[in-house]
Amino acid sequence: MESVDEQGAKTQDEGSSRAEGPPSFMGKHRLAAAISHLHNEINLIQEELNELETLGESSLVCNELISSVESIPDPLLPMTKGPVDDSWERWFRGAHNLRTRWI
């Protein structure tokens, strides 16, 4: 109910007033769907955490894998440390003389 206060302004009685917040752009069904989606994500993450707890030490497996990979030489890398062909290396370095540059 509305009543007039001492200053002449209309006010609502406290019993019938609702708490007014910022306007909501989401309906009840969308809000319920968003909450349900979040609960599903929480459950999936919880299941993943439970699986991780049962896996054991993965660092041991990683160390074994790294040591086995490092022990086998890479077939695409050359066995020598220095340049095999000097002319090949000069081609990659480019010209050192300013007169032979195009720009």
Q: Are 95 and 101 in contact (CB under 8 A)?
A: yes
Residue-range definition of the domain harbouring residue 66: 39-71
Among 24-28, 44-48, 83-87, the range scoring the smallest mean pLDDT is 83-87
Give the number of domains in the chain. 1
Per-residue pLDDT reduced to its tens digit, 54-73:
776 777 778 888 888 888 88
The reported pLDDT for the residue numbered 53 is 80
Residue 19 within a domain: no
Per-residue pLDDT reduced to its tens digit, 27-59:
889 999 999 999 999 999 999 998 888 776 777
pTM for this prediction: 0.34
Taking CA atoms, 69 is separated from 19, 58, 61, 63, 75, in Å, by 66, 17, 12, 10, 12
The reported pLDDT for the residue numbered 100 is 58
Residue 6 within a domain: no
Residue 63 within a domain: yes
Please state, in angstroms and rounded to a whole number, the distance separating the CA atoms of residues 13 and 1: 6
